[in-house]
Amino acid sequence: MSSVGTPMLRKEDPKLLTGEGKYVDDIQVAGQLWMGMVRSPYAHATINSVDASAAAEAPGVHAVYTATDLLGMGLWIGPLPCAWPVTPDMVNPPHFPVADGEVHHVGEIVAVVLADDRYRAADAAELVVVDYEPLPVVASVADAVADASMVHSSLESNKAYHWPLIPDPDALEAAFANATHHVDASFVQQRMIPSAMEPRGVLAVPSPHGGDITLYSATQVPHILKVMVAATTGIPESKIRVIAPAVGGGFGAKLNVNPDELLAVTLANKLGRPVRWTETRSEAAFSTHQGRGQNQRIELAADGDGKLLGVRVHLDADMGAYMMLITPGVPLLGSFLYTGVYAVPAFGFTCDGWFTNLTPTDAYRGAGRPEASYAIERAMDILASKVGIGPDEIRRRNYLAGGEHFENLDVPSTLTFDSGHYGPSLDRALELAGYGDLRAEQQARRDGGSTKQLGIGMCTYVEICGLAPSRALGGLGYGAGGWEHATVRMLPTGKVEVVSGSTPHGQGHETSWSQIVADKLGVDPADVEVLHSDTAISPLGLDTYGSRSLAVGGVAIANACDKVVEKAKLIAAHSMEASADDMEFDGGMFSVAGSPDKAMAIQEIAFGAFTAHDLPDGMEPNLQEQTTWDPPNFAFPFGTHVAVVEIDEDTGNVELQNYIAVDDCGVQVNPMIVAGQVHGGIAQGVGQALWEGANYDEDGNCTNPSFMDYLVPSPTEMPNFTLDFTVTPSTSNPLGVKGVGEAGTIGSAAAVINAVCDGLSPYGVTDIEMPATPQRVWRAIQDGKGGAS
Amino acid sequence: MIPASFEYVEAASADAAIAALTEHGDEAKLLAGGHSLIPLMRFRLATPGVLVDIGRLDDLSYINDGGDHIAIGALTRHRALETSDMLAAEAPLLRHVASQVGDPQVRHRGTLGGSLAHGDPASDLPAALLAMGGSVVAKGPGGERVITADDFFTGFLETALGEDELLTEIRIPKAGGAGWSYQKFNRRAQDWAIVGAAVQLGANPGVALVNMGPAPMRAGGVEAAIASGSSAADAAAVAAAGTEPPVDLNGDEAYRAHLARVLVERGLIEAQT
CA distances from A763 to A187, A780, B57 (A): 20, 8, 57
Give the mutation candidate from A61, A120, A195, A650 for the B interface (greatest B CB count, under 10 A).
A650
Fold (CATH) for B7-53 = 3.30.43
A715 contacts on B by Cβ (under 8 Å): none
> What residue spans in chain B does CATH classification 3.30.390.50 cover?
180-272
Residue B29's beta-bridge partner residues? B51
Mean pLDDT of chain A: 96
Q: What is the pLDDT of residue B1?
A: 82
Out of B4, B188, B262, whose CB is closest to A717? B188
pLDDT digits (tens, 9 = 90+) for A648-686: 999 999 999 999 999 999 999 999 999 999 999 999 999
Q: How many residues does chain B have?
A: 273
pLDDT digits (tens, 9 = 90+) for A134-175: 999 999 999 999 999 999 999 999 999 999 999 999 999 999
Give the mutation candidate from A35, A37, A775 for the B interface (greatest B CB count, under 10 A).
A775
CA distance A651 to chain B (A): 6
Q: What is the pLDDT of residue B244?
A: 97
pLDDT digits (tens, 9 = 90+) for A267-292: 999 999 999 999 999 899 999 999 99
CA distance A150 to chain B (A): 28
Which residues of A, range 700-719, sit inside 8 Å of B by Cβ? 703-704, 706, 708-709, 711, 713-714, 716-717
Q: What is the pLDDT of residue A722?
A: 98
The edge-to-edge listing of strands for the beta sheet with A33-39 is A61-66, A109-115, A33-39, A275-278, A201-206, A213-217, A240-243
DSSP string, A582-639: GEEEETTEEEETTEEEEEEEHHHHHHHHHH-SSPPTTPPSSEEEEEEE--SS-B--EE
Inform me whether the C-beta atom of residue A451 falls under 8 Å from chain B C-beta atoms: no
Spatial CA neighbour of A684 closest among A333, A291, A246, A244: A291
Nearest CA in chain B to A713: B188
Spatial CA neighbour of A508 closest among A24, A16, A22, A3: A16
Using the beta-carbon criterion (under 8 Å), do B250 and A773 form an inter-chain contact? Answer: yes
pLDDT digits (tens, 9 = 90+) for A297-347: 999 999 999 999 999 999 999 999 999 999 999 999 999 999 999 999 999
B5 contacts on A by Cβ (under 8 Å): 119, 123
Using the beta-carbon criterion (under 8 Å), do B194 and A774 form an inter-chain contact? Answer: yes
CA distance B268 to chain A (A): 16
Long-range contacts of residues A407-411, Cβ cutoff 8 Å, at least 24 apart:
A407/A731, A408/A731, A411/A336, A411/A339, A411/A344
Q: What is the pLDDT of residue B220?
A: 96
Q: What is the pLDDT of residue A786?
A: 80
- Other C-beta atoms lying within 10 Å of the C-beta of residue A475: 10
In Å, how far from its chain's centre is CA A57?
43
Using the beta-carbon criterion (under 8 Å), do B187 and A704 form an inter-chain contact? Answer: no
B251 contacts on A by Cβ (under 8 Å): 774-775
Q: What is the pLDDT of residue A488?
A: 98
Q: Is the peptide bond before A468 cis (omega within 30 degrees of 0)?
A: yes
Using the beta-carbon criterion (under 8 Å), do A711 and B187 form an inter-chain contact? Answer: yes
> What residue spans in chain B does CATH classification 3.30.465.10 cover?
58-173
Using the beta-carbon criterion (under 8 Å), do A775 and B255 form an inter-chain contact? Answer: yes
Q: Supply φ then ψ for residue B16, to 5 degrees.
A: -65, -40
Maximum Cα interatomic distance, chain B, rounded to a whole number of Å:
56
- Other C-beta atoms lying within 10 Å of the C-beta of residue A184: 11
Q: What is the pLDDT of residue A787?
A: 55
Q: What is the pLDDT of residue B237?
A: 98
Out of A123, A126, A774, whose CB is closest to B187? A774
Give me the interface pTM, i.e. the ipTM.
0.96
Using the beta-carbon criterion (under 8 Å), do A711 and B2 form an inter-chain contact? Answer: no
pLDDT digits (tens, 9 = 90+) for B62-103: 999 999 999 999 999 999 999 999 999 999 999 999 999 999
Chosen CATH of B180-272 out of 3.30.390.50, 3.80.10.10, 3.30.930.10, 3.90.480.20: 3.30.390.50
A115 contacts on B by Cβ (under 8 Å): none
Q: Confidence class of residue A412 from pLDDT cuts 50, 70 and 90?
A: confident
Fold (CATH) for B58-173 = 3.30.465
Mean pLDDT of chain B: 96
Q: Confidence class of residue A444 from pLDDT cuts 50, 70 and 90?
A: very high
What's A386-434 look like in SS3?
A: HHCCCHHHHHHHHEHHHHCCEEEEECCCCCEEEEECHHHHHHHHHHHHC
Using the beta-carbon criterion (under 8 Å), do A714 and B188 form an inter-chain contact? Answer: yes
- Rounded Cα distance between A203 and A268, Å, is 9
A713 contacts on B by Cβ (under 8 Å): 188
CA distances from A729 to A399, A550, A734, A735, A742 (A): 18, 13, 9, 8, 18
Q: What is the pLDDT of residue A788?
A: 45
pLDDT digits (tens, 9 = 90+) for A90-112: 999 999 999 999 999 999 999 99
Residues of B with CB under 8 A from a CB of A: 1-2, 4-5, 39, 43-44, 185, 187-192, 194, 248-252, 255, 258-259, 262
CA distance B6 to chain A (A): 11
Helix (H, G, I), strand (E, B) or coil at A290: strand
Q: Confidence class of residue B172 from pLDDT cuts 50, 70 and 90?
A: very high
Average pLDDT over residues A493-519: 97
Q: In this prediction, what percent of chain B has a pLDDT beyond 90?
A: 97
Question: A with B: how many residue pairs have Cβ under 8 Å apart?
Answer: 56
Which residues of A, range 63-122, sit inside 8 Å of B by Cβ? 118-119, 122
Q: Is the dihedral of CA A21, A26, A30, A35 positive or negative?
A: positive
Q: Which domains does chain A carry?
A: 13-135+197-249+254-287 (3.90.1170.50), 367-465+634-788 (3.30.365.10), 483-629 (3.30.365.10)
Nearest CA in chain A to B265: A650
Give the mutation candidate from B41, B43, B191, B249 for the A interface (greatest A CB count, under 10 A).
B249
pLDDT digits (tens, 9 = 90+) for A682-706: 999 999 999 999 999 999 999 999 9
Q: In this prediction, what percent of chain A has a pLDDT beyond 90?
A: 97
Rg over CA atoms, chain A: 28
Start-to-end Cα distance in chain A: 68
DSSP string, A252-283: TTTSS--HHHHHHHHHHHHHTS-EEEE--HHH
Q: What is the pLDDT of residue A789?
A: 41
Q: Confidence class of residue A595 from pLDDT cuts 50, 70 and 90?
A: confident
Using the beta-carbon criterion (under 8 Å), do B188 and A716 form an inter-chain contact? Answer: yes
Out of A122, A651, A691, whose CB is closest to B185? A651
